Amino acid sequence: MRRFLTASVVLCLALTGCSAGSLGSSEDDGDGVTLTFLVDNSDTNRKLGEGLATAFTAANPGITVKVEIRPQGTEGDNLIKTRLATGDMTDVFQYNSGSLMQALAPAKNLVAVGDQPWAAQLDQNFTTSVTADGKVYAAPFGNYNAGAILYNRAVYARLGLTVPVTWAEFEANNAALKSAGIAPVVQSYGETWTSQLFILGDFHNVSAADPRFAEKYTANQVKYASTPAAVAGFQHLQRVHDAGWTNEDFASAKLDDAIALLAEGKGAHYPILSGIISQLAGTFPDKVDDIGLFAVPGADAAKNGLTVWAPAGVYLPASTTDAKREAALKFLAFVASPAGCDAQTAAAAPQGPFALTGCTLPDSVPQAVKDMQTYLSTPGRSSLALEFLSPVKGPALEQICVEVGSGIRDAKSGAELYDEDVKKQAQQLGLTGW
Amino acid sequence: MVRRSVYPYWFLLPAAVVYGVLFLAPTFASFWFSLTRWTLFESHFVGLDNFVTFFREPALVKGFVNTLIYGVVTSGAKVVLGLLLAVVLTSRIVARGYLRSVVFFPVLVSTIGVGLTFTVLMNPERGLINQVLGAAGVDGPGWLTDPSWALLSVAAVDVWKGVGLATLIYIAGIVSIPQEYFEAARVDGAGAWANFRHLILPLARPATVTVIILSLIGGLRSFDLIWAMTRGGPGFTSDVIASVIYKQYQAGFYGLSTAGNVVLFVVVTAIVLPLSRFLNRKEVEA
């Protein structure tokens, strides 16, 4: 018994000793503060996180930023929510903007940063994506991304094809590619998230047909299944499978396999997020300029345009207080400054424009990024993806897409199932009208 | 007269506290949260809405059927294979001890490791299994990517991994049959088949009951292997109840997934309790 008591006293002392020590260092008025910074474990984001941390620490000798890594996808979402709910979040963290941020209950868990001087420099689209109840919550991390079709320009040149702007032209190109023995559309359902781009990347075409779609969708006034322009995405996915245009190993292929098919010209089109271009550049440096980008083709050539993903954000959780909060605000100000953009450009090749006025891209960006900028600089040729305009996004879309894209389920029933899936999310968020 | 316990009541206290805090409280909390819409940050009462939503889930019907198929197939295969292996491994063969441990080894290996390994082996284009089949002139299916094969492929791996335990239980059951019976049977002129049919099969009944109950419970709530190999895919075609619940949890529908767990608890109890009663009663009568 006595030994047990002694042991527990020693343990208590050790614990209090530790926390007193770290408290002491954080009260040093900015000097010797260590900030922890949680980023996801994707290759690019880890590099960006470490690049920002190193550059910031170099410019602010009193503050050290330590990068921590978390898993991506739904597992990461869960981890973020759990850590926020238990008050155990790192001092600053990187996370998606848009509907995923809305699910974090920002008013309760995050510190609004709209009053900071740099907030005025943010790009309007990004501001929209990180605003909840009229308050801005993040500094931009990374670049704009496009949900589009990456295509092999060398293959296009060899077969004399031109970039399609309507689905009919896209089908004609696919037929020509297939008869030339090239897989027209690369799909990689071994990694299920990659299956969604024909639907998510088609949103510009949906909102071109109905500019108020996002708003009505949030209010439960329109459905995917009953809106012809919206259900078209599911039909395209089904069409690609039914026509036999996919690569043979579409069901088991992973992102890496798909990138290889595209880079080597064995596959011609890959509907995907443009951000993967940096992964392609890492594996096939000499093929990067063969790869171009075009928007997902729709029904109307005149209205065709690019669907754009806003950058992720760096957030300040409510659990970061006092000296740490001051230091964290300095870090956010650095992230949202031209120096922060430069640090990111140095860490990983930019995949698209920055969300900050005063930040420019180097001239040496890959061809796909140049193609993306052409869309962005033409008014009316680009829109934010639905998940940045509406908090409503169903968690099962990727599985539904795999089913539609593998011929297990038809387009109509896939769209109906997604409408059901979305309902749960809307109810969970407590939106009116659901 | 009230029989006083040998120990004073405060002896029970540590165990009671652990049991209360770690088991009783969470159980009742989960019944409460299954009636709420819960974001981890806050919860508000929605009555039985979660159960209504859960039962309307299209993946659930599929998951339910799949769970039953999976439970019955794996449990049945483990009974048959386990018994046959046990008969072989209790007969006089060379290297018996070594062979027994070989059968048991897969039980000890990490389930996730087994799942990932077989995912690679079962890859339709580059996997070893289809390459071997291809060399033999057979065009193997997409084991994990073809909707009609995916669940059964995972079940097969589950059987491979779990049959060792069933075998072990059967070996114990067969070894405990008194040798006199076999001697008497030999005097009566019984052959190997008669031995098996009229001695081993009825007298190993307690082992059979244990194997069926254990593997059925395991099969009904199985999750790790399915998640490692297919994540319920392609699409929803190999979803089981547990993976449906897990996906709801991942999506942040905490109240809904808690309701799912309550349902799973009720379903497993409803299947296993009567089954266990039934099998055990038969044993007494026999």
Q: What is the pLDDT of residues B271-281, one digit of tens each?
A: 878 888 887 77
> Looking at residue A54, what is its pLDDT?
95
- The pLDDT confidence band at residue B34, using thresholds 50, 70 and 90, is confident
Q: Scanning every residue of chain A, which has its alpha carbon at the shortest distance from the alpha carbon of B145?
A: A251
Q: Look at strands A135-136 and A131-132 and give their pairing.
A: antiparallel
- State how far the Cα of A349 lies from the Cα of A367, in Å rounded to an integer: 12
3-class DSSP assignment, residue A233:
helix
* Residue B213 near residue B279, CB atoms below 8 Å: yes
Pseudo-torsion of CA A404, A405, A407, A408, nearest 10°? -50
What mean pLDDT value characterizes chain B? Answer: 88
| pLDDT, tens only, B96-109 | 889 999 999 999 99
Which CATH superfamily groups domain A29-144+311-347? Answer: Periplasmic binding protein-like II (3.40.190.10)
Q: Which of A249, A399, A424 sits opposite B253 (nearest CB)?
A: A424
Nearest to B241 by CA among B264, B269, B218, B273: B264
Residues of chain A short of pLDDT 50, as ranges, are 1-30
Structural domains of chain B sorted by starting position, each given as residue range(s) with its CATH number in brackets = 59-285 (1.10.3720.10)
Q: What average pLDDT does this structure show over B193-202?
A: 90
- Residue B261's CB is within 10 A of a number of other CB atoms, namely 18
Contact between chains at A428 and B234 (C-beta distance less than 8 A): no
> Looking at residue B4, what is its pLDDT?
65
Contact between chains at B234 and A84 (C-beta distance less than 8 A): no
Tell me what percent of chain A is helix, strand and coil, each rounded to the nearest 5.
50, 15, 30
Q: Scanning every residue of chain A, which has its alpha carbon at the shortest distance from the alpha carbon of B39?
A: A428
> Looking at residue B87, what is its pLDDT?
92
* Residue B227 near residue B246, CB atoms below 8 Å: yes
Phi, psi of A87 (to 5 degrees): 70, 25
In this complex, is the C-beta atom of A310 within 8 Å of any C-beta atom belonging to chain B?
A: no
Nearest to B258 by CA among A434, A327, A428: A428
Contacts of B195 by beta carbon, 8 Å cutoff, 6+ apart? B182, B185
> Looking at residue A406, what is its pLDDT?
93
- Render A117-161 in DSSP notation, one character per residue: GGGGGB-HHHHHHTEETTEE-EEEES--EEEEEEEEHHHHHHHT-
Residue type, B235: G
Q: Scanning every residue of chain B, which has its alpha carbon at the shortest distance from the alpha carbon of A425?
A: B253
Angle formed at CA B69 by CA A253 and CA A413, multiple of 5 degrees: 55
Q: What is the ipTM of this complex?
A: 0.81
Contacts of B4 by beta carbon, 8 Å cutoff, 6+ apart? none
Nearest to B164 by CA among B105, B241, B216: B105
Does A29-144+311-347 match A145-309+367-429 in CATH topology? yes
| pLDDT, tens only, B36-59 | 888 777 788 888 888 888 888 777
- The pLDDT confidence band at residue B18, using thresholds 50, 70 and 90, is very high
Q: How far is B48 from chain A (nearest CA, A)?
A: 14
| pLDDT, tens only, A227-249 | 999 999 999 999 999 999 999 99
In this complex, is the C-beta atom of A251 within 8 Å of any C-beta atom belonging to chain B?
A: yes
Contacts of B137 by beta carbon, 8 Å cutoff, 6+ apart? none
Radius of gyration (C-alpha) of chain B in whole angstroms: 24
Q: Look at strands A145-152 and A306-309 and give their pairing.
A: antiparallel
Strand ranges in A9-123 using DSSP code E only, listed in sequence order:
33-40, 63-70, 92-95
DSSP H or E stretch at residue B85? helix B58-90
Q: How far is B137 from chain A (nearest CA, A)?
A: 19
Provide the CATH number for the domain formed by A145-309+367-429 in this structure. Answer: 3.40.190.10
> Looking at residue A20, what is its pLDDT?
38
- State how far the Cα of B227 lies from the Cα of B52, in Å rounded to an integer: 25
Radius of gyration (C-alpha) of chain A in whole angstroms: 23
| pLDDT, tens only, A181-195 | 999 999 999 989 999
Q: Which of A82, A395, A425 sits opposite B40 (nearest CB)?
A: A82
Domain range summary for chain A, segments of one domain joined by +: 29-144+311-347, 145-309+367-429
| pLDDT, tens only, B205-247 | 889 998 998 898 888 878 999 999 999 879 899 999 889 888 8
DSSP H or E stretch at residue B248? helix B241-250
Q: Which of A403, A428, A430 sits opposite B253 (nearest CB)?
A: A428
**pTM, entire model:** 0.82
Largest CA distance in chain A: 87
Residue type, B54: F
> Looking at residue A362, what is its pLDDT?
84
